[in-house]
Amino acid sequence: MTFTIVLLALVAAFLGLRLYSVLGKRTGHEQEPVARQPLDATPPMMRQPLPGGDSGSALPQGDISNVDMAAQSGLRAIANADRTFDVGLFVEGSKSAYKMVLEAYWNGDKDALRFLCDDDVYQSFAEEIDGRVERGETLENRLVRIDEVRVVDASFDHPMARVSVRFDADIAAMVKDADGNVIGGSMTDAVETHDIWTFMRDVKSGDRNWKLDETDSV
């Protein structure tokens, strides 16, 4: 069975789109990840059971290492509750979600963040954006690459599904004041970042959207 997916690639498309378009739906198309590995080196998708004999979700062939053992029982539970959930494409889609949220925050796009985040995370981002506006500061950040993505935890507490993903990335960051003067950072020196983001969704509701529920740095 073929499932369709809308590829989210442009920041301009944020307002009308949702995270479910790139997280955890089976598809015949994939968006090019922002990572060191070229697209043609990405292993093909296949039906492959998770340990324990459950085959309710798929993992990339030969790439089980991007799912921690601690997350696997939770992923099986989510896949059993939502048969459209696909682990491998969730991992790939989370890269797009990571980029989308970061760029919306850097650009001060609160409308986009309201769609992508739950209330608490949105409020934190909105307060930081308002603070920048009051100080007259702007960000000129750029996601250079995502080095690794790992599912580190997952849980299903009926009807809420949660998946925690670790992103190891390089980000170039620069802050300018109201006069356009650089007051911090550099666009030539990327900084290593290590984030764990948790996405959540009510699998029994009519809302198919995954929301960013929690952010942590490690």
- The per-residue pLDDT of the chain, averaged, comes to 77
pLDDT of residue 7: 28
pLDDT of residue 59: 43
Total-model pTM: 0.73
**Closest to 95 in 3D by CA, of 56, 151, 57, 47:** 151
pLDDT of residue 30: 36
Extents of the domains making up the chain = 21-217
Instruction: Kindly report, residue by residue over 62-99, the tens digit of the pLDDT.
Output: 345 789 999 999 999 999 999 888 888 888 888 999 99
Structure tokens at 143: 């996601």
pLDDT of residue 11: 32
**Please, what is the Cα angle at 210 between 161 and 172, to 5 degrees?**
120
DSSP symbol at 201: E
Assess whether pLDDT exceeds 50 at residue 201.
yes
pLDDT of residue 86: 87
Assess whether pLDDT exceeds 90 at residue 6.
no
Segment 175-181 shows an average pLDDT of 94
Tell me the Cα Rg of the chain: 18
Assess whether pLDDT exceeds 80 at residue 13.
no
Percent of the chain with pLDDT over 90: 56
Pairwise pLDDT comparison (46 vs 189), residue with the higher score = 189
The fold adopted by the segment(s) 21-217 is: Nuclear Transport Factor 2; Chain: A, (3.10.450)
Instruction: Kindly report, residue by residue over 130-159, the tens digit of the pLDDT.
Output: 999 999 999 999 999 999 999 999 999 999
Distance between CA 107 and CA 140 in Å, rounded?
A: 8
